[in-house]
Amino acid sequence: MTDVKSFFETPAPPKYSGILSWLITTDHKRIGILYLFSILGWFALAIIIGLLIRLELMFIGETIFSPEQYNALFTLHGVIMIFLFIIPAIPAIFGNFILPIQVGADDVFFPKINLLSWYLYMLGGLLAIISLFGDGPPDTGWTFYVPFSVSTNTNVSLTIAAAFILGFSSMLTAINFITTIHRLKASQMKWMRIPLFTWSLYATGWVQLLATPIIAITLLLVMFERWFNIGLFDPDRGGDPILYQHLFWMYSHPAVYIMILPGMGIISEIIPTFARKSIFGYKAIVFSSLMIAVAGSLVWAHHMYTSGMSDTAVFVFSLLTFIVAIPSAIKVFSWISTLYKGSIQMSPPLFYALCFIYLFSVGGLTGLVLGAAGPDIHVHDTAFVVAHFHFTMFGGTGFAFFAGLHYWWPKLFGRMYNFKTAYLSGVLITVGFMFHYVPMFIIGLQGMPRRYHDYLPQFEQGNYLAGYGAVIMVIGMFMMLINLLIGIKKGAVTDSNPWGGVTLEWQVPSPPPLHNFVSEPKIMDYPYDFSRFFKKNK
């Protein structure tokens, strides 16, 4: 297997070399790597901005930033983390790299459109940077709520244009994945043989496809309002500002499932691999992915209980919100059941995956507090909400992303990272995480509002503690990233299957050759059948 040239050495199209061979490549693996480094760059930037916000909040009064600067910072943190990191991270990096291999294909169905969506991603990022200059960075928060987003004099139009373009990029990726799964999966790859990571991306793809256009039109309308003053959301002229919130959350609530579903897919790959045991409830997990995609699209208005919506709607959406908890719980139970009586082998990916299960469960359960209309009135727009969605988005998607990085890193680069540093950074991140967000739950319940530059004395202790947590967490994350990057150059060379995984990506060399498969892939009747692995070990 070692004499096969990896995709790093065989550019596609073949006539170009050097930097051009990357910039105009149509190879899904190279595009995945392009995404990896651009997304990690944005991630690092947004981490630092988040840390600065926390440092500002450590002490009462103005610490390092003026209130205006603070508003710009939390807007940027939100916009970058959501549109440039969480939404694209797992689908664009691992989806691009792993999905075609998992279904036994050479590449995605539309390789050129795949490259185009990377360029759109970069263009969106560029616009987001440009919007910092000129009239000043946007200060609306990532939600761009009217009327403030229409009336503020900062560069909101540019930021919105950036989000619009990034939405387009994510839509094109979704079209590519759905078409690839339908048309390019190997002939023996029946639907119930598809690995769960690919299944989760399929469900995500549909949500991206049907929800993203609504944010596109909503953002366009905000731009039109700023340019032409139509008044569609202006109550003086007959408009209804609450409708803006409806349209916004029609996308942005499904978007949280766009963020978490691929993460759940990664966990569903890692748990069986390191438990050496077939996943519990394969069909239930597939079904729950689809259920989450459907039910998650119908609960958007639970962000609006206090915005003046009708009481009937509050009741209906609260009820629907509770339904979404069911498929998420099915997944958590299935992962735990997979571990039960498994032959567990501890490794960095599994460590991050276990942290995911714990943190995501806390995030999910506090979500029920918010989904219930009564308690939500009390904690709406407090630090409790911020802690909740960081537990799901960061403790959930973020940790799944870290787990995925550690799981597929040897496949991407053919080299292993240092295990000890990986464990240590994992511990630092998790401990810092708890110190950071648990106090926020408490001060949130006590009434500390979110997005405030200053606060009352009784919240000082919690904010002070959260600042320390943030520092520990950020140190852990940079340690983890540096450890991985060092692994590319200096890590031990690995073979095609360092973990003993059974999905198709472990049948190809690491890193894979240009056309992915050296020989025809062997597709099993069931994607998580470890019996072959056990026979080999005896």
Partner 1 sequence: MNQKQQAHGISYGTLLSVLTTLLALTAITVYASQIDMGALNIWVALLIASTKASLVLMFFMHLRYESGLLKYTFTITVFTLAIIIGLTFWDVAFR
Partner 2 sequence: MQSSSDHEGSKLGMWLFLYTEIMLFGGLFVLYAVYYHKFTDDFIAGGQQLDTFFGTLNTVILLISSFAVAAAITAIQNNSKKIAIILLGSSLLCGFLFLINKYIEWSHKFEVGIYPNSEKLLESDPGLNIFFGLYYVITGLHGVHIIIGMALLVWSLVRVKSNHITDQNYVLLENAGLYWHLVDLIWIFIFPLFYLIL
Q: How far apart are CA 172 and CA 209, in angstroms?
A: 8
Q: How far apart are CA 114 and CA 207, in angstroms?
A: 18
Contact status, residue 469 vs residue 435, Cβ threshold 8 Å = yes
CA quadruple 463, 467, 469, 472: dihedral, nearest 10: 180
Residue 64: in which H helix or E strand, if any? none
Residue 5 found at the interface with partner 2 (CB under 8 A): no
Per partner kind, with CB cut-offs from 5 to 8 A, the member of partner 2, partner 1, none near residue 216 is: partner 2
Q: How far apart are CA 535 and CA 516, in angstroms?
A: 26
Per partner kind, with CB cut-offs from 5 to 8 A, the member of partner 2, partner 1, none near residue 169 is: none
**For residue 359, what are its two tokens?**
């943190």
Q: Is the peptide bond before 13 cis (omega within 30 degrees of 0)?
A: yes
Residue 51 or residue 87: which is nearer to partner 2 going by CB?
87
Residue 5 or residue 182: which is nearer to partner 1 going by CB?
182
Residue 231 found at the interface with partner 2 (CB under 8 A): yes
**x/- contact string, 238-277, with partner 2 (CB under 8 A)?**
xxx--x--xx--x---------------------------
Q: Which one of 11, 111, 349, 469 is in contact with partner 2 (CB under 8 A)? A: 111
H-only helix segments in 372-459: 373-379, 383-392, 399-413, 419-446
Residue 108 or residue 339: which is nearer to partner 2 going by CB?
108
**In the bound complex, what is the minimum distance in angstroms from residue 177's beta carbon to partner 1?**
14
Residue 78 found at the interface with partner 2 (CB under 8 A): no
Q: Which one of 115, 146, 211, 324 is in contact with partner 2 (CB under 8 A)? A: 211
Per partner kind, with CB cut-offs from 5 to 8 A, the member of partner 2, partner 1, none near residue 134 is: none
End-to-end CA distance of the chain: 23
Q: How far apart are CA 268 and CA 301, in angstroms?
A: 30
Q: Which residues bind partner 1 (CB under 8 A)?
A: 182, 210, 214, 240, 242-243, 246, 250, 297-298, 301, 309-313, 316-317
Q: How far apart are CA 291 and CA 198, in angstroms?
A: 16
Cα-Cα-Cα-Cα dihedral sign, residues 294, 300, 302, 303: positive
Per partner kind, with CB cut-offs from 5 to 8 A, the member of partner 1, partner 2, none near residue 301 is: partner 1
Query: Segment near partner 2 (CB under 8 A), from 7-15, 69-77, 224-232, 270-278?
Result: 224-232
Q: Is 449 helix (H, G, I), strand (E, B) or coil?
A: strand
**In the bound complex, what is the minimum distance in angstroms from residue 246's beta carbon to partner 1?**
6
Per partner kind, with CB cut-offs from 5 to 8 A, the member of partner 1, partner 2, none near residue 104 is: partner 2
Residue 518 found at the interface with partner 2 (CB under 8 A): no
Residue 72 or residue 293: which is nearer to partner 1 going by CB?
293
In 3D space, the residue among 434, 430, 404 whose CA is nearest the CA of residue 501 turns out to be 404
Contact status, residue 43 vs residue 90, Cβ threshold 8 Å = no
Cα 55–Cα 61–Cα 67 angle in degrees, nearest 5: 80
Residue 175 found at the interface with partner 2 (CB under 8 A): yes
Longest dimension (CA), the chain: 77
Residue 171 found at the interface with partner 2 (CB under 8 A): yes
**In the bound complex, what is the minimum distance in angstroms from residue 176's beta carbon to partner 2?**
8
Residue 178 found at the interface with partner 2 (CB under 8 A): yes
Hey, what amino acid is at 154? T
Question: What are the backbone angles phi and psi of residue 507, rounded to the nearest 5°?
Answer: -90, -10
Residue 209 or residue 524: which is nearer to partner 2 going by CB?
209
| Footprint of partner 2 (CB under 8 A) | 104-107, 109-111, 113, 171, 174-176, 178-179, 182-184, 186, 209-214, 216-218, 220-221, 224, 228-232, 236-240, 243, 246-247, 250
